[in-house]
Amino acid sequence: MKRYAVVVALIALIGLWLAPTAPVKAEEKQYKYVGVGGCKTCHKTKKSGNQYGIWLETKHAKAYETLKSEEAAKIAKEKGLDKPAYESPQCLKCHVTAYDVEPARLGKKYKKEDGVQCESCHGPGSAYKKKKIMKDRELAIANGLNPILVEDGTAEKLCKTCHNEESPTFKGFNFKERWEEIKHPVPPKQ
């Protein structure tokens, strides 16, 4: 009987050792930021919705540039920051996508000068950027696409991580009004 128990235990251990591990959840993977240059490849045509062109006209595209202004220098001084606004983590966290990410996770087309770009909201795109993945929303989400929506409030919640009282220039935030300035829908499939 003792020998039987040992054999069963050994088989169980071998089975556990050979068993596949559970898949890593999307939020646990270390996706890379491809940069807006990687996104615009597919998102710049009228047929695709010209999301790149829409973004280019927003304040988000110029968010990093504003940190080099006289007003930003004045605010940094008033706040007692020990670095210029364009180098200060307190400012960069909301003015630059992936400002605090280790360089190994930044793709060749990533540039901090692009300010608040696609991946600030949609998540790092290295694994979901391919057209065949982007055609399937669930597959894209499984590959790192942040599943934000206006309808369920997740987009507004994400916006308010920067558009809030912590910002020295905050004057209130009306999500519906601001959304109209930045919305960039994907046209329905034909």
Confidence at residue 188, expressed as pLDDT on a 0 to 100 scale = 85
In this structure, are residues 175 and 156 in contact, taking their beta carbons and an 8 Å threshold?
yes
The answer to whether position 132 is within a domain reads yes
Q: Catalogue the E-assigned strands of the chain.
A: none
Residue 20: inside a domain, yes or no? no
- What pLDDT is stored for residue 16 in this prediction? 37
In a domain, 86, yes or no: yes
pLDDT at 18: 40
The rounded distance, in Å, linking the Cα atoms of 144 and 155 is 16
Domain count, the chain: 1
pLDDT for 29:
77
Q: What is the CATH number of the domain that holds 126?
A: 1.10.1130.10
In a domain, 106, yes or no: yes
What is the predicted pLDDT for the residue at 100? 95
Distances (CA, A) of 158 to 20, 41, 123, 138, 147: 35, 25, 12, 20, 11
- Print the domain residue range for 89: 26-182
Q: Which residues of the chain have pLDDT under 70?
A: 1-28, 190
pLDDT, position 6: 46
* 7 domain-assigned: no
* Residue 32, pLDDT score: 97
- Would you state the pLDDT for residue 8? 43
Entry pTM = 0.81
pLDDT in tens, 93-112: 999 999 999 999 999 999 99
* Residue 3 forms part of a structural domain: no
Domain contains 51:
yes
Q: Work out the widest C-alpha separation in the chain, in whole angstroms.
A: 83
Task: Give the model's pLDDT for residue 2.
Answer: 61
Is 189 a member of any domain? no
Q: What are phi and psi of 106, to 5 degrees?
A: -110, 120
User: How far is Cα 33 from Cα 112, in angstroms, rounded to an integer?
Assistant: 11
